[in-house]
Amino acid sequence: MIRYLPFILILALTIYAFIDCLNTPEDEVRHLPKVVWVIIILLFSIVGPIVWFAAGKLRHAPAGGRTPSEWHRNHRSEWVAPDDNPDFLKHLKDENKKDESLLKDWEADLRRREEELKKRDENGRANGEDTPPPAP
């Protein structure tokens, strides 16, 4: 079992480097086009992933010489959960107002149509027209 461990580690490193290369935006890939890096990673299973991690991807150092843990604690990510995002909440509130006004317009239109039907019904009875009851 232990003799398979190096092969499994090499395979895991290759798969991780391959996925990392595919998920890296084109503007963060250094020295070679992304397609060439994918080929290098897949063809040279030990050296390719190591070279990708060492030279292929643009790495960002923490600002101000801080340690990564401090940087992560004090750095706010660009992505914000929807329930914490004020723009998203404002958009929901605006949509809710639009929906409420549309519903009020529909209700007013329905009331107007019901009044028209009642008037038409009353006028028909006043003129002597007796309409048969609707069929069940």
Q: Helix, strand, or coil here: 58?
A: coil
11 vs 58, more confident: 11
What mean pLDDT do residues 94-116 have?
Answer: 95
> Which residue stretches of the chain are H helix?
5-23, 34-43, 47-51, 68-74, 86-126
What is the percent of the chain with per-residue pLDDT over 90, rounded to a whole number? 23
In whole angstroms, what is the distance from residue 54 CA to residue 36 CA? 15
pLDDT class of 69 with cuts at 50, 70, 90: low
115 CB neighbour count, 10 Å cutoff: 10
44 CB neighbour count, 10 Å cutoff: 14
Give the pLDDT confidence score for residue 25 in this predicted structure: 82
* Dihedral sign, Cα of residue 29, residue 33, residue 38, residue 39: negative
What mean pLDDT do residues 82-88 have?
Answer: 80
Give the pLDDT confidence score for residue 101 in this predicted structure: 94
Q: Helix, strand, or coil here: 29?
A: strand
Q: Is the pLDDT assigned to residue 84 strictly greater than 90?
A: no
Task: Quick: pLDDT tens for 15-67.
Answer: 998 898 888 888 778 888 888 888 888 898 888 888 888 887 776 655 555 55
Whether this prediction's pTM lies above 0.85 is answered by no
| Residue 81 identity (one-letter amino acid) | A
| Residue 122 identity (one-letter amino acid) | E
CA of 130: how far to CAs of 56, 58, 70, in Å? 88, 85, 85
